[in-house]
Amino acid sequence: MRGILRFFVPLGLAASLVSLSHVIINSTLARAPDPESTIAAYTIAMSIFTITERPAVFLRQTCSALAADRTGFRSVAVVMVYVLLFTLGFGTLLSYTPLGPWVFRTLFNAGESLLGSTLGSYRILFLVTVFSAIRCLFHGIIIRNMQTKWLTIGMIVRLLAMYGLSLAYLHSGWTIDGRAGALIFLTGMFVEAAVSAWEGRRIYRQMPERLAHSSIRRARDVFPFYRPLVITSFISVMLAPSINVMLGKTADIELAIASYSVALSVLNLVNSFFTYVHQIVLNFYRLDAAAVRRFALGANLLPAAVVALLAWTPLGKAAFGAIVGAEGQLLDASIEALRVFLLFALVFPWVDYFNGLAMLNKKTRFMMGSQTGNLAVTIAALIVLTAAVPGWNGMVGALAQSCGVAAELAVLAMLMRRWQRRQSIRADIPA
């Protein structure tokens, strides 16, 4: 158990520190001559970047699960090259052809005043994917070899680099626009990737060239594991716009969207520390399954306990005011939405736990089915709730999303149990 904690706590800290990256960028952009349009341009560009970066992020789980030797690592690295070629090609089309202006005008309703700054920001942001992919690739073998403190170290160095460049923008008289936020982000990701590569290459040199039990010999061996993760991520992308569209049909549109967004940001801050439970399963379950289950039983209750503390005690109002500046009617509505999100906080860590089991047994296609169930139930709940109780406003989104993640857990647990039962039957059949 002490080994699990030494492994997990640095991962949780690294995940929690990610939110500070966006605080540094937004606080810099807020000092621009026209902060509203500057932040809007950067946010629109980031919304596209977030979608296209997802395949790169899943290299972390893929490498952690499959790169048992140098051959496996190189195979995942080849997949990374394919991902980057596609992402950079797509980014180039958006940045330097008429497709980009059309996308930003049509999908995001960006006017001419925003278009130039949005394109300028995206032309920098899509390059961030290169360093994000390198970072996640090396994170995989760092995590697999139990050196998770290097994720925290890399994140701290990244934040220092971003903060230093932010101060340079604020005190040197440089022009602050959307491109400034993108450049700060690019600098931070480059530094974190460099730290990860430095430690990752040291680990790579100590790895065996080829292990007999490893089935990963070339890139094509990686795709059955990796492809369902990418498809799953694109299914999940549809959740946020679906919720925002249906919140537009509640009694008070502005209050519904704002309170839901504020409550979700606090929930994500609480949950961020516990988003690496799947790595506990990947790296410890075969060593001591009972210890992993004990850890999960204890740790997975903590997010719900913190959410309950914030939602039903005076600490919540203080936290909402300090973190997001909410007050008055928005504060009350946000706390009501957070109370509904208690179900999400109870269920989400167990989804991550079962995702770990699916990845451990190379059944990532189960995650496609569970994510589809999440999307279907979320949309169905949104339709019913907006028709039945439109006055719930932000609580409609919180309850629908919580029902969706509960359905995801149910589908995932059912698929894993069914697969384990088949494995048990096969093991009982005499050869």
pLDDT score for 135 = 95
Q: DSSP secondary-structure letter at 326?
A: -
Long-range (24+ apart) CB contacts under 8 A made by 419-428 are: 419/361, 419/363, 419/366
Q: DSSP secondary-structure letter at 218?
A: S
In Å, what is the CA distance from 63 to each residue of 51, 236, 355, 368? 20, 22, 15, 19
Query: Taking the domains of the chain in order of start, what are their residue ranges?
Result: 1-15+249-430, 31-234
pLDDT score for 395 = 92
pTM, two decimals, is: 0.85
pLDDT score for 260 = 83
Q: What is the pLDDT along the chain (431 residues), one digit of tens a residue?
A: 888 888 888 888 888 888 788 778 878 887 888 777 787 788 788 878 888 888 999 999 999 989 989 999 999 999 999 999 999 999 999 999 999 899 888 877 677 777 888 899 999 999 999 999 999 999 999 999 989 999 999 999 999 999 999 999 888 878 888 889 899 999 999 999 999 999 999 999 999 999 888 888 889 999 999 999 889 888 887 887 788 778 878 877 777 877 887 788 788 888 888 888 999 999 999 889 999 999 999 889 999 999 999 999 988 887 776 665 556 777 888 899 999 999 999 999 999 999 999 999 999 999 999 999 999 999 999 999 999 998 888 899 999 999 999 999 999 999 999 998 888 777 666 65
The 3-class SS string of 141-152 reads HHHHCCCCHHHH
φ, ψ of residue 308 to 5 degrees: the values are -60, -40
Cα dihedral sign for 172, 174, 178, 180? negative
Cα dihedral sign for 382, 388, 393, 395? negative
Query: Which contiguous run of DSSP H or E holds residue 344?
Result: helix 342-360
**Listed residue (100, 88, 106, 5) closest to 45, CA to CA:** 100
Cα-Cα-Cα-Cα torsion 69, 73, 75, 81, nearest 10 degrees, comes to -170
Angle between helices 149-172 and 178-206 (to 10 degrees): 150
Tokens (6 digits) for 81: 């090259």
What 3-state class would DSSP assign to 224?
helix
Give the integer Cα–Cα distance in Å for 278 and 348. 11
144 CB contacts (<8 Å, ≥6 apart)? 63, 64, 67, 68, 282, 283
Up-side HSE of residue 45: CA atoms within 13 Å toward CB?
Answer: 32
Cα-Cα-Cα-Cα torsion 172, 176, 182, 186, nearest 10 degrees, comes to 0
Give the integer Cα–Cα distance in Å for 297 and 426. 30
In Å, what is the CA distance from 325 to each residue of 16, 206, 264, 339? 20, 49, 14, 19
In Å, what is the CA distance from 206 to each residue of 37, 120, 416? 50, 42, 34
pLDDT score for 79 = 94
Judge whether 32 and 293 are in contact, CB under 8 Å: no
Q: How many CB atoms lie within 10 A of CB 212?
A: 6
- In the chain, count of helices (H) and strands (E)? 19, 0
Up-side HSE of residue 94: CA atoms within 13 Å toward CB?
Answer: 25
26 CB contacts (<8 Å, ≥6 apart)? 39, 181
pLDDT score for 327 = 67
pLDDT score for 98 = 92
